[in-house]
Amino acid sequence: MLGVHLTPERDAVILVDVQNDFCPGGALPVPEGDRVVPALNALLERVRAVAVATRDWHPPNHSSFKPHGGPWPVHCVAGTAGAAFHPALAVDRVAHVVSKATRPEEEAYSGFQGTDLAAFLRQRGIRRVFVGGLATDYCVKATALDAVKHGFEATVLEDAIRGVEVQEGDCARAREEMKRAGVRLMRTEDLT
């Protein structure tokens, strides 16, 4: 595959929810979730795109939590260690942090939902986004699909994502859904 060259005038890397609670040992761990960190760090070291990081940033009584009628264990409560970015993530490279699902009744798998992400990217002149992080079958998928809906060219970084796989095949289905919507799948090594 031909390499793609990234520039900060046109391109952004979106780091989706690389938070402690989504990594092994966290409250809602994605299998091998921490494995996205070296892949994303290496990419940010090599390319000069604008880096944006999204994070789940929930109130303690968030409606997605099991004690409040939701499907998930309590996770990523704003300000807690579980909600912090993975300690090895190159946050010094991140130009903008996007907090999502910050109100009790608001769920947001997509980094674009109820946030200033689209406005921030447009203001910077960004036309292409490269998405990695957690989890493939939830927030990565939703963010990539929303990027396309907002008019960005979206690529998901296959080696820098991991999935929850609540049902076997969820990640494969997520990939197909993204491809049908026009999202490209590439490996970080194909970016320069």
Q: Chain-centre distance of CA 85, in angstroms? A: 12
Tell me the residue number closest to Zn ion, measured at CB: 56
Q: What is the smallest separation between the CB atom of 112 and Zn ion, expressed in angstroms?
A: 15
Residues 11-50: x/- map of binding to Zn ion (CB under 5 A)? ----------------------------------------
What DSSP state is assigned to residue 63?
Answer: T
What DSSP state is assigned to residue 19?
Answer: B
Q: What is the smallest separation between the CB atom of 56 and Zn ion, expressed in angstroms?
A: 4
Residues 47-86: x/- map of binding to Zn ion (CB under 5 A)? ---------x------------------------------
Rg (CA), the chain: 15
Cβ partners under 8 Å of residue 169, min gap 6: none
Which residues are bridge partners to 99 per DSSP? 55
The residue among 68 and 93 lying less far from Zn ion, judged by its C-beta, is 68
- Residues 32, 104: Cα–Cα separation, whole Å: 29
Q: Which residues are catalytic?
A: 17, 100, 139
Residues that bind Zn ion (CB under 5 A): 56
